[in-house]
Structure 1
Amino acid sequence: MKDSIHKYFQIGTIQWMSHPPADMDVLDSLKTICCDDFFDAVEVCRFMDDETRLKARNMLDQAHMKVCYGAQPRLLGPGLNPNDVDEAGRQKAEKTLLEAVDEAAYLGAGGIAFLAGKWEPKTKDLAYSQLLKTTGNVCAYAAQKGMMVELEVFDFDMDKAALIGPAPFAAKFAADMRSSFHNFGLLVDLSHFPTTYETSKFVVQTLRPYITHFHIGNAVVKKGCEAYGDQHPRFGFPESANDIPELLDFFRVLKEEGFFHAQDPYVLSFEVKPWKGEDGDLILAGTKRVINRAWAML
């Protein structure tokens, strides 16, 4: 492509993945990302104290960053399940998602993203109803603030084993949600396509009416190999599924399916993290090189 990728997408990164908390202070991480003009957007999660949250908000505002809010850690950390068949458990998940909407609004984000919880074959239909209930309540609350709610499509039997996807099931859920809530959308992640045994073309074409947000990344889906599952290793990681050719294919599909919107660009964030002693800043630099090469070949 002759045009810059920034013409058609707001390029971001997931802060807590790029710089895991054990490796770097969150404010130092945010400053590093905000000072890098490759990034138009940054995805943040829960801040544990008011002072840090205020400093982060001021930093994001000064840097003119598009702010996105990931509520996934709020669920995964304490093991909360928005489709819990136990109503008390479902309500706990809903409560933290409603709190996420408030925190996202404070930080200047236009919405939140989350994921479905684990499921069991015997109670799948009930779990689906529970997820509709949770998501509907969160969408209704977010709508009062003019905010979006996005469900990220995950693997259904490999690692996270979330109720939503694969893509056809995610499309069914999104259609059910959109019948009542216009502020609902789907977040699709290139790193999850190998974990749901699907291709970029299949996922994007299947979910096209409902996609509002993109992630890119990598996965290892060969059993017995290091970083197996939904671990988001760097592009080109040994025995992994995605590198420059797969990202190029993804870009081609997005172009063919009409997702290049110069006037109102989608957020496209990369979700990669250092693996066992790797350096987060080196991984960021390497990911940008992968993006630049794939884009140049488009």
Structure 2
Amino acid sequence: MKEDIHQCMKMGIVHRAAFPLAASKRGGTIESMMDIVRDPFFDAIELTSIPDPAERTEVTQLLLSSGMMVCYHAQPRPSAAKPLSIGSLIERERRSAIQELKEAIDEASEMHAEMVTISDEFISGAFLHKNTLPALEQSLQEIGRYAASKGAMKAAYEPPFTFSNEPPRETIAKIPGTGVYIDVEHLPAHYEMNDRNMKHVKKQLIYSRIGNCSKDGRYQQHVAARQQAVNTEQLMHFLRNLCKMDYIGEGKQKVLALGVKPLAGESPQAVIAGGKRTLLEAWRLLQRHSAIWPEC
């Protein structure tokens, strides 16, 4: 395996996580993105909606100039009266969720995004009820076709870990340009579980994230998880699994996005730098354990 991590994957960063307050001040979004595009460590950036058309145009031009790959995370509008689910059995609600996702895909296309990730809020537990699966499959097919109509754009969503036993896994494999993504901070805390669960998404995996990470682990703010951030050893195991799944490796250029988020009073730049150091340390550990993990 190559020592240079960039020869084995595209390194990305989740903008909204790294700079959570950027949109709250005038010019904050473009200023924070300037920090990112100036850093040659990152090959890709994950954005979310930019409501102001003028600001969106400015961001698009900046990213085109930088040559970075653009990914777009579609999430429900803050003004939504109730959660929207593409697995809803109420047809009106299902259509509303699909329409919102299509509008997000339109915005992503405007910003030349090559990947759209779908927030799990749009799934809203649909995998947990067998009677919602047909509606969910139908929605995913429509969304996948719509994303494909934009050219080379792909659509990915994060499945629950009952995914290996559910019919949509087979459906996803049949929809061109559609797949799943995984986020290490949402995986079960016991990493032996990851080995079993991650292998089920091997063929459908098209995008991956790592959340807050530090050498010793620290509290991270994901509302649902409420667990420690990923430490170096855990991250090494996650990278090992990605190697075994043939997602990363020599000559591979799939995205691994850094989703670090500063806590109150922390500098975004310092937290990003810490995340990079942790990732590179995990990569070096994996290099030293190459005899144990020959698949990598």
Question: Above 0.5 in TM-score?
Answer: yes
Counterpart position of 1:211: 205
Distance 1:226 1:247, change over 3 A: closer
2:32 maps to 1:32: no
* Map of 2:15 onto structure 1: 15
Q: Does 1:174 align with 2:169?
A: yes
TM-aligned CA distance change 1:130 to 1:21, over 3 Å: farther
Instruction: Provide the residue aligned with 1:126 in structure 2.
Output: 131
- The equivalent of 1:108 in structure 2 is 112
CA contact (8 A) 2:212 2:229 kept: yes
Quote how far apart the aligned CAs of 1:8 are: 0.9
Report whether the alignment pairs 1:143 with 2:153: no
User: Cα RMSD between the aligned structures?
Assistant: 2.7
The residue that corresponds to 2:289 in the other structure is none
Cα offset, 1:125, TM superposition: 2.3
Question: In the TM superposition, what are the counterparts of 1:283-298 in structure 2 within 5 Å?
Answer: 283-298=271-286
Q: Which runs of 5+ in 1 are unaligned?
A: 154-163, 220-224, 233-238
1:60 to 59, 63, 84: 63
- Code of the residue aligned with 2:84 in structure 1: it is L
Question: TM (normalized to structure 2)?
Answer: 0.83
Instruction: Please give the TM-score of this superposition, normalised by the length of structure 1.
Output: 0.82
Task: From the superposition, tell whether residues 11 and 77 of structure 1 become closer, same or farther in structure 2 (CA, over 3 Å).
Answer: farther
Q: Does 1:95 align with 2:99?
A: yes
Amino acid at match of 1:58: Q
| 3-state secondary structure, aligned to 1:209 | coil
Query: 1:94 offset after TM fit, Å?
Result: 0.6
Unaligned runs of 5+ in 2: 214-218, 287-296
Distance in 1, Cα, partners of 2:78 & 2:251: 35
**Structure 2 Cα separation of the partners of residues 269 and 102 of structure 1:** 22
Distance in 2 between residues matched to 1:51 and 1:227, nearest whole Å: 31
Residue type at the aligned position of 1:92: S
Q: Would you say the 8 A contact 2:72–2:108 is kept in 1?
A: yes
CA shift for structure 1 position 102: 1.3
Distance 1:103 1:256 in 2: 35
1:192 maps to: 186
Counting matched residue pairs gives 273
**Partner of 2:239 in structure 1?**
251
Post-superposition offset of 1:119: 3.0
Q: Is the 8 A contact 2:233 2:282 kept in 1?
A: yes
- How much has 1:97 moved relative to structure 2? 0.8
Moved more, 24-33 or 34-43: 24-33
Which string of whole-angstrom CA distances, capped at 9 and with x for unpartnered residues, describes residues 43-68 of structure 1? 00111111011001000011110100
Shift of 1:197: 8.3
Alignment-mate amino acid for residue 296 of structure 1: R
Specify whether residues 129 and 151 from structure 1 end up closer, same or farther in structure 2 by C-alpha distance, changes over 3 A only: same
What's 2:85 paired with?
81
CA distance in 2, matches of 1:204, 1:278: 33
Partner secondary structure for residue 203 of structure 2? helix
Offset at 1:284?
0.7
Check the 8 A contact 1:119/1:127 in 2, yes or no: no
Q: CA distance change for structure 1 residues 249 and 264 in 2, over 3 Å: closer, same or farther?
A: closer
Q: Whole-Å Cα distance in 1 between the matches of residues 51 and 236 of structure 2?
A: 38
- The percent identity for this pair of structures is 26
Residues 198, 297 of structure 1: CA spacing in aligned structure 2 closer, same or farther, 3 A cutoff?
A: closer
| Residue identity matched to 1:186 | V
**Inter-partner Cα distance in structure 2 for 1:69 and 1:191:** 19
Displacement after TM superposition at 1:241 (Å): 5.4
Letter in structure 1 aligned against 2:96: K
CA shift for structure 1 position 139? 1.0
